[in-house]
Amino acid sequence: MAATASTALQITAARPTISSTCRIFKAGVASVGADSKGTSCAKLASACRLSSVQQFQCNLISSPAKFRKFSVKAVSESSETKPASGLPINLKGKKAFIAGIADDNGYGWAIAKSLAAAGAEILVGTWVPALNIFESSLRRGKFDKSRVLPDGSLMDITKVYPLDAVFDTLDDVPEDIKTNKRYAGSSKWTVQEVAESVKQDFGSIDILVHSLANGPEVNKPLLETSKKGYLAAISASSYSYVSLLKHFIPIMNPGGSSISLSYIAAERIIPGYGGGMSSAKAALESDTKVLAFEAGRKHKIRVNAISAGPLGSRAAKAIGFIDTMIEYSIANAPLQKELSADEVGNTAAFLVSPLASAITGAVIYVDNGLNAMAVGVDSPVFKDLNIPTHKH
């Protein structure tokens, strides 16, 4: 599911690239240098500007996390003389917990950046075996280029929690996992324990993001998938969202919002996307509707899903043909361009903001319109129809 366009905030599978023209305009608008393919982040930047009587100051909160802390101050030169215009996405004062970030090139990371750009405080849950590498990369500055926000500051992750969302409670963890050396040195990583730790550290949150999926037999056709592999895909990719909401809702403030990430395989046939993963995504979308009703009625929490197009992230590489899917999408979608991770991140920022206060139980497609197509227009049968195309 990878992005290779040159937006300054864009996350790419091969190498995140940051424009050297990041700057603060005198009009008080936080902006970022981008080419014609990179307008979405600039739009988010303009939407996140502060009022004319405010200076934009980013004082990052120190925390017991192991990695370096950064304090960055970005102030518009004329913010006190010219009023801001436009419709703002303002998440200042909100806390977001994002489950499933283990590197800097997936949708979870892009969502974290967009929420941070809108002012939210970012908390992260990282799969236990990947925790040391992720925190080490943060400490060593490996992710610094891809941490750059529209105002030129670096996204701050207030705290990283070890998390294995397959397990609700410690009683659910089998002995071979408890004694596995990849889990050595970490504690309190089940969903219940992480929710309790977040409550102890921060009291409450406003935003919950589920960016988790795993299918150990994803390369197998469904007819060749074992029961163990099928149930593992359902457990990690869909039930984990139910579990996260169950344990985090008690510490979510009324009016809060939750998002999960789905894929068109939930409702269309994607040959090669096997091992029960299509079933897991279908369950995730169905659960989104039920959870929206239950969480809305009982807790005033909104629940939505984003069905994102293909991105060549490290996780997606496990499917084995993600590059082909990206090429297919570019050739057949109404918008002939490569999908960028920041486009999904910006949609997430909108969905969790007050601007989307009446949207819940929805699956929002962010795929350049590919979901609307009934046929692949790159098929030879359409060669005489003179369908408009452009090179990319």
Q: What does the alpha-carbon distance between residue 263 and residue 107 come to, in Å, rounded to a whole number?
A: 12
CA-based Rg of the chain, rounded to a whole angstrom?
A: 21
Asked if residue 59 lies in contact with residue 71, where contact means CB atoms within 8 angstroms, the answer is: yes
Map residue 374 onto helix, strand or coil.
coil
DSSP symbol at 236: I
DSSP lists the bridge partners of residue 98 as 124, 209
CA 334 to chain centre: 24
Q: Is 300 tagged catalytic? A: no
Would you list the DSSP string of 67-82? S----EE---TTTTTS
CA-based angle 149:39:33, to the nearest 5?
55
Asked if residue 19 lies in contact with residue 33, where contact means CB atoms within 8 angstroms, the answer is: yes
Q: Which two tokens stand for residue 204?
A: 């409450």
Q: Is 66 tagged catalytic? A: no
89 CB burial (10 A radius; 0-12, 13-18, 19+): buried
- 238, 240, 262, 278: the catalytic one is 238
Q: How many H-runs (helices) and E-runs (strands) does the chain carry?
A: 10, 11
Q: What does the alpha-carbon distance between residue 310 and residue 366 come to, in Å, rounded to a whole number?
A: 10
Q: What does the alpha-carbon distance between residue 122 and residue 73 come to, in Å, rounded to a whole number?
A: 18
- 281, 307, 329, 340: the catalytic one is 281
Catalytic amino acids?
238, 281
